[in-house]
């Protein structure tokens, strides 16, 4: 009797689950989803900017990468880490060994006092990674309206159309539109937030980091407009995320050529083998 009751209870539970699933599926299929501010006003990354590394034969613009590094160093590094990149990797951007050592030494990285064993900071070495500007996540959140600034090492790989996303975000700060205020007043930025339609939920804690022309002085004399700085740092962050991007493309062409040659060779071999077989049949 107990076993029968258990079976009936199990069947009843299964029926309820299936019924709930069926009702939910029918509702989702027949009733349109409520429109949200994110769906209505979120913008896809701008596509009107061309980067030198795009396309099948793209190349790094080393001068642009160096400018982007300077933007990161003088603007972005105040809040964002780059913990997947070591100072020695800057040699790939055309810096000499002496310049890499000088750049590393200009940064302070976590260390240990050899006399007391206490945590301290020391000048960076080429083997060190770019340090975080905050000692821990609690300090990072406290300094940024409870929003922990993300590490930027792989940011362009973590976002759709990563290079264009970074560029669009940096140049996309604006006042909320009147239509947004009228239709979705709850989606207006609150205290400490800033409106940016290229961000997923339209508002983010990061204030506009690039605010005026000349905020950074480029060594090659390029005029540092907001648009130029945004392009350069987007290119630099693409390099940090995919340093082998261009080399992979360069390797791909010989591989495709070999595969094409191997395919033709196999086709001619097949023709030769079957030609001999047909002659024997005849």
Q: What is the DSSP letter of 47?
A: -
E strands within the chain?
A: 82-86, 108-112, 119-123, 129-130, 194-195, 203-204
Name the binding residues for heme c.
76, 79-80, 206
> Is 61:235 a contact under the CB 8 Å cutoff?
yes
Q: 82 - beta bridge partners? A: 130
Residue 109 has which token pair? Answer: 């990285």
Other CB atoms closer than 10 Å to residue 165's CB: what's the count?
21
Q: Which residues contact 220 (CB under 8 A, 6 or more apart)?
A: 63, 66, 67
Other CB atoms closer than 10 Å to residue 133's CB: what's the count?
16
Cα distance between residue 81 and residue 235, in whole Å: 17
Name the binding residues.
76, 79-80, 206
Cα distance between residue 230 and residue 223, in whole Å: 12
Q: Which residues contact 165 (CB under 8 A, 6 or more apart)?
A: 45, 156, 159, 198
> HSE of 65 in the Cβ direction (CA atoms, 13 Å)?
20
């Amino acid at each position: 009797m107990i076993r029968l009751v258990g079976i009936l209870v199990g069947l009843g539970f299964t029926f309820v689950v299936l019924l709930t699933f069926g009702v939910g599926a029918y509702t989702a299929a027949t009733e349109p989803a409520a429109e949200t501010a994110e769906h209505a006003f979120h913008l896809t990354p701008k596509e009107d900017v061309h980067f030198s590394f795009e396309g099948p034969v793209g190349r790094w613009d080393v001068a642009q990468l160096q400018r982007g590094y300077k933007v990161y160093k003088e603007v972005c590094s105040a809040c964002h880490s780059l913990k997947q990149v070591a100072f020695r990797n800057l040699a790939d951007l055309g810096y000499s060994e002496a310049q890499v050592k000088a750049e590393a030494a200009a940064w302070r990285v976590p260390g240990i006092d050899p006399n007391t064993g206490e945590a301290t900071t020391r000048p960076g070495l080429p083997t060190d990674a770019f340090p975080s500007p905050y000692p821990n996540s609690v300090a990072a959140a406290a300094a940024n309206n409870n929003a922990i600034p993300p590490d930027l090492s792989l940011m362009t790989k973590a976002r759709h159309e990563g290079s264009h996303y970074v560029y669009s975000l940096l140049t996309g700060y604006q006042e909320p539109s009147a239509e947004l205020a009228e239709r979705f007043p709850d989606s207006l930025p609150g205290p400490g937030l800033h409106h940016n339609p290229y961000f997923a939920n339209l508002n983010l804690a990061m204030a506009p980091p690039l605010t005026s022309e000349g905020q950074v002085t480029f060594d090659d004399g390029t005029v540092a407009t907001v648009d130029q700085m945004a392009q350069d740092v987007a290119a630099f962050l693409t390099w940090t995320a995919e340093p082998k991007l261009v080399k992979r493309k360069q390797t791909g062409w010989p591989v495709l050529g070999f595969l094409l040659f191997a395919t033709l060779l196999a086709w001619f071999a097949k023709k030769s083998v079957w030609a001999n077989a047909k002659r024997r049949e005849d």
